Structure 1
Amino acid sequence: MSNKNIHGCPAPQNITLAQRLQPIVGRTVTVFQPGFPQLTRTTGKLSNVTSSSFTVGSTVVNTQTSFFIVLNTLVKKTKPFDLTATAEDIGELHGRLIRVGRNFVEFIKKPGRRVPTLFPLNQFTEVVCEHEDEE
């Protein structure tokens, strides 16, 4: 996959979104998708992870659509990059980078709890990282 929709971020790790989700199958996650008049929020157990989709509760999510996933585990380490993630029909999310994968980024939303957000890199999304120089 070409990463023309990601700018200024460190080189991606050799892990896909499906590989990142596989170890947490059976755990409760929350997925946000475009909806009217606001984002649709679905919380449930993660299951059926494939390279093109995953299921949260009874909702099947295609990985080539606009969405993001919030996990329920605390994160201790982040990288010195602030990021802005933009998704069609969702808007902008701001956060602190945890990692870049082959087809996703993982970050902590700011402001927010220290829990990871997984954000796909696809035709509906764009990510910009800025290195934190003042440390």
Structure 2
Amino acid sequence: MGNKDIQGCPAPQNITLAQRLRPVVGRTVTVFQPGFPRLTRTTGKLSNVTPSSFTVGRTVVDTQTSFFIVLNEPVRRTKPFELTATAEDIGELRGRLIRVGRNFVEFIKMPGRRVPTLFPLNLFTGVVCESEEE
């Protein structure tokens, strides 16, 4: 937990990525992972959520790797923070913060649809938040 690179964001809520994913088990999600020459995109039903991995379709994703997940449910509220999330071999994503969890951030990608993106906080990722109220 101590090596996460996260700056300027509100205090984390006491929820883990596994806890956030469990209510959407059985629903269709899309996970993006590093690939060559561009990101590998896997869309499928979410299953088998554990503290260290989850499955989308037939793809097992280790939560200690570089990835992000897009859920297919509209978001009602965001926090007044702009966020830049960076992942090794993925690059930079920008958006509006929904929440910070214990080992992930949830945000709406900008530009994009109003659906949540879940981004892990691990050795391969970094997140910077900037308050819009400055």
TM-score tier (shorter): over 0.9
- Report Cα offsets for 1:47-99 as digits up to 9, x if no partner: 00000000000000000000000000000100000000000000000000000
| Structure 1 unmatched runs, 5+ | none
Other structure's SS at 1:14 match = coil
Supply the AA of the counterpart residue of 1:16: T
Rounded Cα–Cα distance in structure 1 between residues aligned with 2:89 and 2:99:
24
The aligned residue for residue 10 of structure 1 is 10
- 1:119 equivalenced with 2:119 (yes/no): yes
2:88–2:124: 8 Å Cα contact kept in structure 1?
A: yes
Supply the AA of the counterpart residue of 1:110: M
- Tell me the TM-score normalized by structure 2: 0.98
The aligned residue for residue 51 of structure 1 is 51
- 1:78 equivalenced with 2:78 (yes/no): yes
Aligned residues: 134
The aligned residue for residue 27 of structure 2 is 27
Rounded Cα–Cα distance in structure 1 between residues aligned with 2:19 and 2:2:
18
- Report Cα offsets for 1:18-41 as digits up to 9, x if no partner: 000001000000000000000000
How far off is 1:3 after superposition? 5.5
Other structure's SS at 1:19 match = helix
The aligned residue for residue 109 of structure 2 is 109
User: Over aligned residue pairs, what C-alpha RMSD do you find?
Assistant: 0.8
How far off is 1:4 after superposition? 3.7
Rounded Cα–Cα distance in structure 2 between residues aligned with 1:21 and 1:3:
23
Supply the AA of the counterpart residue of 1:94: R
The aligned residue for residue 100 of structure 1 is 100
